[in-house]
A and B are shown apart, each in its own frame.
Chain A
Amino acid sequence: MSESPESLDQSLALRKEAFNQTWNEPTGLFGQLATVDNFLIGMRFLVTSFSFFLVAGVFALLMRVQLARAENDFLGPEVYNRLFTMHGTVMMYLFAIPFQEGLAAMLLPWMLGARDLAYPRLTAFSYWIFLFSGLIFFSGFLFDAVADIGWFAYTPLSSPAFAGKGIDFWVVGLGAAEVAGVAAGAELTISILRLRAPGMSLDRMPLYAWAWLVTAVMIVFAFTTLFMATLLLELDHDLGTRFFNDQKGGNHLLWQQLFWFFGHPEVYIIFLPATGVVSVIVCTFSRRIIGYTWIVVAIVVTGFLSFGLWVHHMYTTGLPELSLYFFAGASLMIAIASGVQIFSWIASLWRQRPRLLTPLLFVLGFVFIFVLGGLTGVMVAVVPFDWQVHDTYFLVAHFHYVLIGGAVFPMLAGVYYWLPKFCGRMPSERLGQWSFWLTFVGFNVCFFPMHILGLLGMPRRVYTYPASLGLESLNLVATIGAFVLAAGFLLFVFNVLHAARFGREAAANPWGGDTLEWTLPSPPGFILYPRIPFVSGRHPLWEQETPPIAGESSRRITELLDHRPEHWRATILVDVLTGQPQALVRLAIPSHMPLLAASGVVLVTVATIAKLFLLVPVGVLISVAAIIVWLWPDRKELELQRTSTLPAETGLPIFTIGSRSLGWLGMCVLMAVLGWCVGTLLYTYFYLQLYSKEWPQGDLPMPEPIQAALVFGFVPCAAVACCAAWRGMSRTRRSPGLIGLAAGCFLLVLFLTMHMQLLNRLRFSPQTNAYGSVFFLLNWAMDMVVVIGLGLAASAVIRLWKEGEHWQMFLKLHVQMATHYCYFAAAVAVVIYATLYVSPFVF
């Protein structure tokens, strides 16, 4: 059938219009609240977190004024202690990571050639939670309830016995921020692994994506650990559990172990994305990157090792020396990974005579400062030396060199570098150079003297120091430097705002970059890649069109998908390793549900702070309801997908299951998070046992393994039932699946009721002692895991019941997810049962 060229043009125009319509984001204030666009949300992350950065910076300036003179009385101890707590907390939780996440949410789909991130609504949810958690943190100032326990909140200073009311704002705000972090981590992991341009194999991925791949995985595990730690602390406050009560079998070092298990990876979570930015800028300015593979290996090694270093924050706690040297060795090894990256960048820049424009200047400043900070980092990893400088200004100097040098300088470099992409205008080079030199000189004048102050014995977190210690002149120099640094940051802000408004119009690829984002219009708008690019090398924009050999079919797919599908949002899912297209996956459209779900979480947090515990279930209900609506498939969309001709044309399936579907991948991350939560509790359990003379503590009865076995056994039975349902699905009849899943649901409900009775019969409570606390919490964790499984399985039953003739197409994934989740729940049940009810007899 041949059509006339005119009608072809017309149909193309219609298609484009429909496509653009589909990808357009709602406007207006109310519509903006529903947006899921990665650029808008990323920009919100950047602006919000940078505002927090400026506020925390003002806190730092106030502290520096106080310390400029010995025995100064500009700020009292209460105010000073609050300021340093908030400075650290805001910088670490509300600036450094969210800023990087925002940058990643924007850049990664652009760089990878995807139309959006994998879970657009999750991005929105993550932002709202982050925003609200920041507001909760700061609202403490309104109620004169600001935490003064330091960003690390060591117990017992943060325990009910000693902490003021500020602790609630701190713990709860932090808990919410962690949820946002885990959500972003999950999102970015899956997006990088699966949503790339066809042909972009793992070894062609930009280094920025590599850095983020490792970082995102780290975020998921590190933040989950911190979430559990803060949960235990909050339970100590609100429920009267005894995790951190040394009179009742609790353990203060447990907090430190959990906190630093998060806290050390945290540093690398901040640092690794920054190295990704550096790699991109170095690559652009020197027109090459030397040692791509080396850098990738270094990033991966850093990610792994960073989880094996946490004890180097605890050298002075009196742990056995042998264990300290294990961690010291790991700490030195990570220096090698950083060294490899540094030398790769130097090799890339070597004799390339790059133009010293602002982004590169900031990168060079980064190398200078970070190398110094890295070397002092090696020093403090050396056990005996750390015994002296631990918690002194030497440490303050060290980690500001690492964090400002290692992360903030690359961030500023990145903003200068991508500003033309964000707003289509160039930043002023002259102002840029000025802002660099002010920042660089100010930074060093501020923080270099702190090394010497530490060596002269100035501890950190002191609001004052006696004149007789001889620390005054260096402190004054540091204060002057702090103000110069602040001037540099302000000039940066001015330059960015000025450029966004009045800057010279930017060329399409002003720096001559090699990554895909420079093919997009500036700013890119809502509609990314109507035609998804095909990638045949590491530097897509630098490589000439090579004659297609292997990628012919992939290239054809990108052509066929030009401005298609028109009526629903989709992007290509590729093979993790090779970048071969594997499926056409649907992406979510704008919705208010993420905001509503986040509001539910906020209600929970606010109710916790205000001790209105009756409102907690209300908040939970709102969130759960919002999430159900958010996830519930749209009938019309399903029909469009079912009738689509794209699978036939491109060979890419739409209704996929398993690792080729975003739903299943997302559930895997959820299981990893839940599994890690349970793992953290198991660690808590055995840690407490290790340091207790008797177990169960305080003459509590031994657990009853036989009764418990009968109850816990229901969960594996449910898994078997679901398995049968999943097997039955492959046949044409619906009833085996329906019966199996319903039986699974029934068994899970049976478990929940019996389990509740089992717990009710116990003659101790979570308040009895630390054993009681961890015993109950692990049991509740089991309930939590089961309730989620019940939700998955029950919703599958309902949909299966109601679905029409296409149930097999639409519901396969759902049933598979419910089944696999039940396997997971069964494994958790076995582990928890073995720990709680068997291990006390064994150990």
Chain B
Amino acid sequence: MSDNQEKKLDDLIKDTFAKAADNVTPPSVQAEWEKFEQKYGHILFANEEDTPNQKENNLVYIVKPQDNVYQRPKGFSNTNRTRVRLTAIACIAAIIFGLFMIKPQSASALGKWFIQIFTKKSGETTEFIQRSVTKEGGNTGQYIEIDKQELSLEEARSQVPYAFLVPDYIPPYLEQRKIYVEKIGEIYSVALEYYQESNLIISIIQKKYDSVYTNSTGYDTDDSLVNKIQIGNYPANLVTFKDGSTKLVWNDQSLFYEIRGVLNKDEIIKIAQSMK
């Protein structure tokens, strides 16, 4: 199309729309304003009573303030707020799921890991020790009867269905020995207690488990010192407390051992190594 034709077309369109607009007969403006005021005036227009501070503030203001309507603080819009909430929930779910996926699946391992979280949370003052014995065929969720009695060594050996150990070495100042056998369901626990003038000095506990056993203990490292040592072929934890008492914990293939008492480090290790 030539420039001339282009201009002609522009003029024609302009003329057509101008005529179309001129041909419209709007209603009376004043009457429409009255209708408008009647319909929307109470929503829109401020009056002096409603906005006493308006002039002082010198605001550009034409709309009546909606005092009774809660105004959300500026920030996220409703849509954005919902999006943020959903994102936060998704992130939390992803983190929880991720933690379970990257950590070991067995309960005992998860337990250790879980407690280690709190170890770190409480700073460097807590140490966690966990020992476990695992065998197949354990039962859970049953009612268990507890039966505890004091026996002689021979009686204990005849009653307890496994060969528990007795230390060859005991400090010579300990005068008295008591043996307690505790039966918890099908589990036998043997406690050898050594006394000096009726005061309990050493307690040696041995337990045998038919299934999974996990023992977890937390120590405040401000009050105790944990050393990893070796008893025979098995790793052990030696805990030395500020009050002078010690505790030694270890296990072999089937038994769990714990020696605790008012003993120095060398004596408690000597007792443990003498157990036969």
Mutual binders A and B: no
